[in-house]
């Protein structure tokens, strides 16, 4: 099939992925492979800007990659690699930093937010983060970058840098286009905050059926439904919102049964846990197979880095020539 160009996306190494990661990003990553040549990157250098303890980076990289591969990232066609394995990105970062006014960076709301979050560690990398992100995208000549509504300004920033560079040195860099994508926001088992590992309100997609039930059992449901006989309000229940994805064939019946109190929350959760377990059963089987070979992930990432390096060398050569570096 003819592909429509190259897509780039990156994610920090966060270890085993949860339902929020899956519904918000991974399933899109898998789908894009049918439309684009895909370049997916584990952005470990970005992680250094906020991580205090880096001892788990290697393990988290392996676990996250295993999840991506088992979910359907096809390593033989997609370039899957680790950011720091292609050091050309840091060289491009240095060059692009020379065309990026400091005021652009310090005015960014994301920078101000980070300063609020870690006032004792406002490091230089934090300021240059968007330039490194722009370098990731343009180094691989990405035509398209998937963005959710709230991420559009990040990509616009990259486009600004590209325009400024090309205006100064000639049309060398590809200006990436946004592919507006629905990044589903998934609430945690507390039903309040976004699902996140750091809040420990997550359900890992590699969980066994028993582990799934342990998490689903304690999920917060409709707070107004105090007794089994009380009619429920599925529109405010997080279990129901996840049923929409994992129990699609039954969702109308579940909604009706919840409203009429024909089904209780425990039964409803058991149904959800069972459907979730079945949905990810082939995933768990593939993951176990990949994980059995301790070299498999590193071989995939090594091969991805070699292919990424070939594109990176070409871009960097063009950039240096345009800038006039001897």
234 or 277: whose CB is closer to ligand SF4? Answer: 234
CB-based contacts of 109, cutoff 8 Å, min separation 6: 153
> Binding to ligand SF4 by residue 276, rule CB under 6 A?
no
Q: Per residue in 107-137, is it b (16+ CB within 10 Å) or e — as a string?
A: ebebbeebeeeeeeeeeeebbbbbbbbbbbb
The piece of 109-117, 130-138, 258-266, 292-300 that touches ligand SF4 (CB under 6 A) is 258-266
The DSSP secondary structure of 278-321, one letter per residue, reads: HHTHHHHHHHHHHHHSTTHHHHHHHHHHHHHHHHHHHHHHHHHH
> Binding to ligand SF4 by residue 66, rule CB under 6 A?
no
* 237-256 positions binding ligand SF4, by CB under 6 A: 237, 239-240
Q: Give the closest residue to 279 by CA, choosing from 219, 203, 183, 217.
A: 203
The piece of 54-62, 64-72, 218-226, 293-301 that touches ligand SF4 (CB under 6 A) is 218-226
State in angstroms the smallest separation of the CB of 224 from ligand SF4: 9
State in angstroms the smallest separation of the CB of 117 from ligand SF4: 33
> Binding to ligand SF4 by residue 258, rule CB under 6 A?
yes
State in angstroms the smallest separation of the CB of 222 from ligand SF4: 4
> Binding to ligand SF4 by residue 265, rule CB under 6 A?
yes
239 or 311: whose CB is closer to ligand SF4? Answer: 239
The piece of 39-47, 65-73, 140-148, 219-227 that touches ligand SF4 (CB under 6 A) is 219-227
300-71-3 Cα angle (round to 5): 75
Cβ proximity of 83 and 47 under 8 Å: no
Binding ligand SF4 (rule: CB under 6 A), the pick from 189, 195, 263, 316 is 263
240 or 280: whose CB is closer to ligand SF4? Answer: 240
Helix (H, G, I), strand (E, B) or coil at 145: strand
253 or 278: whose CB is closer to ligand SF4? Answer: 253
CA 132 – CA 96 distance, rounded (Å): 9
100-139-112 Cα angle (round to 5): 40
Look at the block and give the residue holding tokens 């970005």. Answer: 46
Instruction: Tell me the three-class secondary structure of 172-224, residue by residue.
Output: CCCCCEEEECCCCCCECCCCCCECCCCCCCCCECCCCHHHHHHHHCCCCCCCC
State in angstroms the smallest separation of the CB of 207 from ligand SF4: 19
CA 198 – CA 13 distance, rounded (Å): 13
* 221-240 positions binding ligand SF4, by CB under 6 A: 221-222, 225, 232, 234, 237, 239-240
> Binding to ligand SF4 by residue 14, rule CB under 6 A?
no
CA 84 – CA 81 distance, rounded (Å): 9
The piece of 18-26, 97-105, 135-143, 217-225 that touches ligand SF4 (CB under 6 A) is 217-225
* 148-177 positions binding ligand SF4, by CB under 6 A: none
154 or 225: whose CB is closer to ligand SF4? Answer: 225
| Dihedral (CA of 144, 148, 152, 153) sign | negative
161 or 265: whose CB is closer to ligand SF4? Answer: 265
Q: What is the binding site for ligand SF4 (CB under 6 A)?
A: 221-222, 225, 232, 234, 237, 239-240, 258, 263, 265, 268-269
């Amino acid at each position: 099939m003819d592909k429509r160009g190259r897509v780039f996306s990156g994610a920090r190494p966060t270890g085993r992925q949860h339902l929020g990661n899956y519904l918000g990003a991974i399933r899109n990553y898998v789908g894009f492979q049918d439309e684009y040549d895909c370049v997916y990157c584990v952005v470990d250098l970005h992680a250094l800007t906020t991580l205090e303890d880096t001892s788990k980076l290697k393990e988290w990289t392996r676990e996250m990659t295993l999840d991506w591969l088992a979910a359907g990232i096809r390593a033989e066609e997609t370039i899957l690699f680790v950011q720091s394995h292609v050091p050309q990105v840091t060289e491009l970062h240095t060059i692009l930093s020379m065309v990026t006014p400091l005021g652009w960076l310090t005015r960014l709301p994301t920078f101000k937010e980070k300063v609020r979050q870690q006032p004792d560690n406002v490091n230089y990398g934090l300021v240059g983060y968007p330039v490194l992100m722009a370098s990731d995208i343009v180094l691989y000549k990405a035509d398209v970058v998937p963005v959710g509504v709230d991420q559009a300004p990040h990509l616009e920033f990259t486009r600004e840098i590209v325009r400024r560079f090309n205006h100064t040195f000639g049309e060398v860099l590809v200006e990436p286009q946004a592919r507006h994508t629905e990044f589903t926001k998934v609430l945690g088992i507390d039903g309040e905050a976004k699902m996140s590992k750091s809040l420990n309100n997550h359900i890992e997609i590699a969980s066994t059926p028993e582990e799934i039930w342990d998490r689903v059992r304690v999920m917060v449901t409709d707070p107004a439904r105090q007794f089994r006989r009380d009619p429920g309000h599925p529109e405010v229940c997080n279990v129901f919102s996840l049923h929409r994805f994992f129990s699609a064939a039954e969702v109308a019946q579940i909604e009706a049964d919840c409203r009429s109190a024909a089904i209780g929350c425990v039964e409803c959760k058991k149904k959800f846990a069972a459907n979730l377990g079945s949905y990810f059963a082939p995933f768990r089987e593939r993951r176990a197979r990949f994980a059995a070979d301790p070299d498999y992930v590193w071989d995939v990432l090594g091969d991805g880095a070699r292919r990424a390096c070939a594109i990176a060398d070409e871009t960097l050569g063009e950039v240096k020539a345009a800038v006039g570096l001897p």
